[in-house]
Amino acid sequence: MTKETILITGANGQIGLVLTEALRQKHGRDAVIATDINGVVTEERGPFEILDVLDANRMAELVQKYEVTQIYHLAAILSARGEQNPKWAWEVNIGSLFNVLETAKNFGLRVFYPSTIAVFGANTPKDLTPQETVTEPTTVYGISKAAGENWCQYYFEKYGVDVRSVRYPGIIGYQSLPGGGTTDYAVEIFHRAVHGENYTCFLAPETSLPMLYMDDAIRGTLDLMSAPLESLTVHTSYNLAGVSFSPLELVVAIQTHLPDFKVDYAPDFRQNIAESWPRSIDDSVARRDWVWHPHYDLKAMTADMIQQLQKKLAAV
């Protein structure tokens, strides 16, 4: 295995916290430079640097300082937060991607770029959404990620930058909290359930959305980043599927472990966003190209989430 040095942007976020640990397990503690716009700088768990992804000079400086070979560009403004301030979300999401792609071009880096099911819209087929299909997103987040995917392909074709990308569905994990997306309910609900509290869900009970357990998301990401470039046929972003369920189905699954758990529903602006997204995803191209397959279904995910959160609670 060639020695890699990895810089992660947005490393303090829901996925970043878990991905940083997984990459440190794989490549060694000092081979992974965690960065974020803020956060306490402790080097206890490994190198950490403050980096605003809109600061291209600092990004290049850190790449040179640590002799970075790969960037995982996680920093972004997600769907629900983006709708509160669309111009800012566009500037952060696209401005930062340009900085990453230019840095990758200048220093010969491999890039991981997470896209999202939010690139799809009302005119996209909602069931088993194909790899190649209509992308007419309804949120600034989706618009920025759809444009971002195309910029990734552009840099691959024009400049040979090795950029790899997946369209994550909603990510569910016990390790960290979500940062302002439309699928956040599916994490929050578990925290309430294990604390013995009721939950008010911001989506309607029947709203089915594609989701993915964190362990599957991390494993898929690492597998894509180590796949031979020749086997990859998609240079925009790969569809990735785990499990699709509605809030109601999730509540029933949680109640098999915690029968007293109660939920009521108060859909807000996120309901409209959710209704513009697919219900399920066809990820057969990812399965073929880099042998992707998820391990967790709704039952396995629910059992593990509850067990891990109860363990955490007991340790407090």
Q: Which residues are catalytic?
A: 141
Question: In the chain, at which residue ranges do the beta strands (DSSP E only) sit?
Answer: 6-9, 32-36, 48-50, 70-73, 110-116, 163-168, 170-172, 199-201, 209-213, 238-239, 243-245, 263-265
Kindly state whether residue 142 participates in binding ligand NAD, applying the rule CB under 6 A: no
Q: Which is nearer to ligand NAD, 218 or 309 (CB)?
A: 218
Q: How far is CA 264 from CA 194, 198, 258, 261, 292, in A?
A: 17, 8, 16, 11, 36
List the interface residues with ligand NAD, window 253-292 (CB under 6 A).
none
Per rule CB under 6 A, is residue 242 in the interface with ligand NAD? no
Q: Is 306 in the site for ligand NAD (CB under 6 A)?
A: no
Q: Which burial class, exposed, middle or buried, applies to 107 when counting CB atoms under 10 A from its CB (0-12, 13-18, 19+)?
A: middle
Rounded Cα distance between 164 and 221, Å, is 9
With binding defined as CB under 6 A, does residue 224 bind ligand NAD?
A: no
Toward ligand NAD, which CB reaches closer, 15 or 224?
A: 15
Q: Which of residues 109-138 bind ligand NAD (CB under 6 A)?
A: 114, 116
- Site stretch for ligand NAD (CB under 6 A), options 51-59, 151-159, 221-229, 232-240: 51-59
Residue 152 is a binding residue for ligand NAD (CB under 6 A)? no
Of the pair 90, 258, the CB lying nearest ligand NAD is at 90
The answer to whether 232 touches 289, Cβ cutoff 8 Å, is yes
**Burial group, residue 229, by CB count within 10 angstroms (0-12, 13-18, 19+):** exposed
* Backbone angles phi and psi of 68, in degrees to 5: -70, 140
Q: Count of residues binding ligand NAD (CB under 6 A)?
A: 28
Residue nearest to ligand NAD (CB): 13
Amino acid symbol at 260:
D
> Of 73 and 235, which CB lies nearer to ligand NAD in the complex structure?
73
Among 21, 26, 54, 227, binds ligand NAD (CB under 6 A): 54
Nearer to ligand NAD, 13 or 251 (CB): 13
Q: Nearest CA to 169 among 273, 280, 18?
A: 280
Where does this chain bind ligand NAD (CB under 6 A)? 9-10, 12-16, 36-37, 51-54, 74-76, 78, 92, 114, 116, 168, 170-171, 178-181, 183
